[in-house]
Amino acid sequence: MTIIAGTNFQFLRDQLFNGIHDPENDALFFALYTTLADIDVRTADLQSALSNEVIGTGYVAGGFALTTNVIYTPGGANRPVMDIDDIVVTPATWGNVNPEEGALGGVIYNTTAGAQASKIMWVINFGTPIVVDNGTLRFSFPDPTNPALAMVRSVG
């Protein structure tokens, strides 16, 4: 199976401009998926339609609630950047018995009721499955003050 990562920027941009997503006020979550998941950023729309979510200690179906802040720097005059707090899970255990159940990737999606409910905003592929055996797992999101590290960038 495959996880094709990134963001369908046109789709996300249109949803942001049309007010479907409000990253400052909406409830965003980060759900993890195993190597058996088949997720394509070009066609995936709703998190609720995906299968093969991670199961294990420290992980709850639906994923982790994200704490976000939207800041307006340094990419230019009032260019918004989203800052996501790191996620730390202790203890965490998944994929240690069957490596196919390791987390190969995840999706950031919106859980706020309305038109945005369950809509996927980003798909992330870790490159190699994450297997955890009663340890601490930290997901660190890119530094928002460095535009070169951004998950999504716009030019102009």
* Secondary structure (DSSP) of 61-96: TT-EEPPEEEE--SSSTT--EEEE--EEEEEEEESS
AA letter at 42: R
> φ, ψ for residue 53 (rounded to 5)?
-75, 150
H or E element that contains 120: strand 120-130
- How many domains does the chain fold into? 1
Residue 146 covered by a domain: no
Spatial neighbors of 154 by CB under 8 A, at least 6 apart, are 9, 13, 79
Which residue segment(s) compose the domain that 88 sits in?
3-140
Residue in the block written with tokens 């994929």: 95
- Global pTM value: 0.83
Residue 30 covered by a domain: yes
The confidence score (pLDDT) of residue 35 equals 92
CA distance 22 to 132: 33
pLDDT per residue rounded down to tens, the chain (156 residues): 566 665 555 567 677 777 777 777 889 899 999 999 988 877 788 899 999 999 999 999 999 999 877 665 555 555 667 778 889 999 999 988 888 889 999 998 989 888 888 888 888 888 899 999 999 999 888 877 776 666 555 444
Residue 40 covered by a domain: yes
